[in-house]
Structure 1
């Protein structure tokens, strides 16, 4: 935002950012649902592997971890994707607040200069 903006440009930026925030809510929801599905798949696979292994409890745990490596990786990828989308949504909120602040400043400057007065 190193450029000089007039009130109309600032309002356009605010509208664009608001629209991006609205779209990000759906994306965050989609990615969170994917994370929850991956978490369920991992937990079910882990429990199945744990219960099917014959041996002491500690060995069952290690066997279950080895048997569910793919599900764990899918869970980690889904978690990272959701966290990324959430961070992006938060940064858009900060960007919106920044434009709103710029808007107040620009409007105050135009008002003090008497621009637009008749």
Structure 2
């Protein structure tokens, strides 16, 4: 929010803009979550393959698989961070929408009593 003049029309326009952004954010969150789940699955499969391929003791297999799958783990972590960012942004937009709705109610109340002298 800025130092803009708040009148009912401006508030309603801003509420409409935020609502549209929230609607678009659902698709972004979904895309990012699908990307994360795909990266997570790819990492799990790569880890399992690396674990099974390593010839040696069980504890060595785990470390060998960790080393062999560092790239897929990194891709998964980046996808997870992108999803979480999109989700936090969507929640921030919802909070901003609630704030504008509250401001709108206050401004409407002010307009209702405007001009009624004491």
- TM-score bracket, shorter-length normalisation: over 0.9
Report the more deviating stretch, 78-87 or 2-11.
2-11
Q: Distance in 1 between matches of 2:106 and 2:7?
A: 11
Structure 1 length-normalised TM:
0.95
Cα-to-partner distance string for 1:19-64 (whole Å, 9 max, x where unaligned): 0000000000000000000000000000000001011111000000
Q: Distance in 2 between matches of 1:83 and 1:63?
A: 29
| 1:95 CA drift (Å) | 0.4
| 1:4 CA drift (Å) | 2.7
Match for residue 18 of structure 2?
17
Structure 2 length-normalised TM:
0.95
Q: Distance in 1 between matches of 2:115 and 2:76?
A: 58
Q: Which runs of 5+ in 1 are unaligned?
A: none
Q: Distance in 2 between matches of 1:103 and 1:86?
A: 26
Moved over 6 A (4+): none
Match for residue 57 of structure 2?
56
Matches within 5 A, 1:1-118: 1=1, 2-114=3-115
RMSD across aligned positions (CA): 1.1
| 1:3 CA drift (Å) | 2.6
Q: Which runs of 5+ in 2 are unaligned?
A: none
Q: Distance in 1 between matches of 2:58 and 2:71?
A: 22
